[in-house]
Amino acid sequence: MLRLTKEGAFGYKSKNEDFNKQVIKKWDAMRPKYDNFRDIYTSGQIERNKLKVRELKGSVEYEPVRAKRATEAEYIVMSGIHDYLWFGEGVSVVPTNEYDDFVNKIDLALSFFDRETKKNLYLGIDVTTAEDPSVMHKKFNDIALNLKNGKLSQVRYFMPDNPKNDSKGKKEMLRVVVKLKDSEIDDLVEKFAQLKTKKIEQNPIRLKILEQIDKQISEAFLYLASWSGTPPDYKDRKDIQQYLEILRKKIKEINK
């Protein structure tokens, strides 16, 4: 049986206290709360979502794996994008709440404004430190199955960093997996804790993350294109292909 692995940030801190103060504290304050969404979801819907999370936490398959290490990795990626412009200007990043972390397997959500369509596009990132190949295999299989069925992943409790430019609530997006090594995390935790701006801005991990994302978006596009159109999924798949093509261009622009 494949273990459910929780690599999220809830209840975990770094062993580096300066990193906790400089990075984690700020992002924890931004993490969406269920109560922020009571104007768009009923109390019953929210309680069912909470129950689902409790069931996952209490299941025999669930085991917290490398939680502190993965917590550091999540905050490194968020802070790198937001504070050190790893993806350039005009890219917003927000953390997810526990439902989207546990159930939808998305740790943070990016949003881009596309000038051609005049719409916000979203990308969900699942940050992992997993060494077990079966864990990675399960993650990619889940993503592929969604695409095969003409679906994207979703963040149910999305909270924009600027409410004037976006709305809260459910957003559909491709989920990509970003994997970091222990040695990379150790190095960056120290740099973030000590506010070594230039060494963070120019860190090679930025290109590694972009390359992982670029590769997965391209693979998702090709995988989706390989499926023949059959009702009722065809229109959905064509819409997703268009979304992936725009997203792929955006990431390539950033990665120049």
Averaged pLDDT score across all residues of the chain: 87
Window from 19-33, 40-54, 85-99, 217-231 with minimum mean pLDDT: 217-231
By the 8 A CB rule, do 166 and 154 touch? no
Q: State residue 204's pLDDT score.
A: 94
What average pLDDT score do residues 191-214 get?
93
pLDDT at 254 over 90: no
What average pLDDT score do residues 147-173 get?
92
Please give the single-letter amino acid code of residue 56: L
By the 8 A CB rule, do 202 and 84 touch? no
pLDDT at 1 over 90: no
The share of the chain scoring above pLDDT 90, in percent, equals 61
pLDDT at 8 over 80: no
For 50-200, strand residue ranges (E) read 62-64, 91-95, 108-114, 119-128, 153-158, 169-179
Query: To 5 degrees, how large is the angle CA 153–CA 94–CA 137?
Result: 40
Q: State residue 60's pLDDT score.
A: 65
pLDDT at 6 over 50: no
Q: State residue 58's pLDDT score.
A: 80
Q: 61 or 108, which is more confident?
A: 108
For residue 158, count CB atoms less than 10 angstroms from its CB and return exposed for 0-12, middle for 13-18, buried for 19 or more.
Answer: buried
pLDDT at 12 over 70: no
In the chain, what are the domain boundaries? 4-254
CB proximity list for 66: less than 8 A, separation 6 or greater: 7, 129, 130
pLDDT at 89 over 60: yes
CB proximity list for 17: less than 8 A, separation 6 or greater: none
Query: To 5 degrees, how large is the angle CA 164–CA 169–CA 170?
Result: 130
120 backbone dihedrals φ, ψ, rounded to 5°: -85, 135
pLDDT at 3 over 80: no
Q: pLDDT digit string (tens) for 26-72? A: 898 899 999 999 999 999 999 999 999 999 888 766 655 446 678 89
Q: 239 or 94, which is more confident?
A: 94
pLDDT at 231 over 60: no
| DSSP annotation of 74 | H
| DSSP annotation of 110 | E
Q: pLDDT digit string (tens) for 117-153? A: 888 999 999 999 888 889 899 999 999 988 888 889 9
Which residue, among 95, 93, 97, has the nearest Cα to 111 in the 3D structure?
93
Token digits for 13? 């801190």
CB proximity list for 164: less than 8 A, separation 6 or greater: none
By the 8 A CB rule, do 7 and 129 touch? yes
Token digits for 201? 């801005």
Give the C-alpha separation, 199 to 14, whole Å.
Answer: 20
Please give the single-letter amino acid code of residue 84: Y
Dihedral over Cα of 32, 87, 238, 228: its sign: negative
Q: 92 or 117, which is more confident?
A: 92
